[in-house]
Amino acid sequence: MPSSVEPSPSPQRGNTASRVLGVILMIIGYLLLSVAGLCTLIFGGSILSEGFYGSDVGLVLVYGGIPMILGALIAWAGHSLWRSGAKK
């Protein structure tokens, strides 16, 4: 007599929507971080090549630093969201 074996329940896969949204946020954050970092590098380098002035450092920090911080925060939030949807 063949025995009927029921398949075992599938393992918990986690929340797919939060993982996908987390990856999207990480991509946006890393793109913002890299573009702002490149702009800061170019703008800061051109200021330093012309001569160093204290007020110019503030310009570099405001125009490049704030978007870099926002990009890093968005990437961190995306990573946290991605990790929360993982298998448990």
Q: How far is CA 26 from the centre of its chain?
A: 3
Let me know if residue 9 belongs to a domain.
no
Q: Which residue type occupies 42?
A: I
Total domain count, the chain: 1
Q: Is residue 1, in this structure, part of any structural domain at all?
A: no
Is residue 4 situated within a structural domain? no
pTM of the model: 0.72
d(CA 30, CA 77): 11
What is the predicted pLDDT for the residue at 2?
61
- Low-confidence residues in the chain, pLDDT < 70: 1-14, 87-88
Q: State residue 25's pLDDT score.
A: 96
Q: Which domain holds residue 66?
A: 16-84
Does a structural domain hold residue 5? no
Contacts of residue 82, defined as CB under 8 A and 6 or more positions apart, other chains included, come to 18, 19, 22, 23, 26
At residue 32, the 3 state secondary structure works out as helix
The total of other beta-carbon atoms located within 10 Å of residue 82's CB is 19
pLDDT reported for residue 10:
53
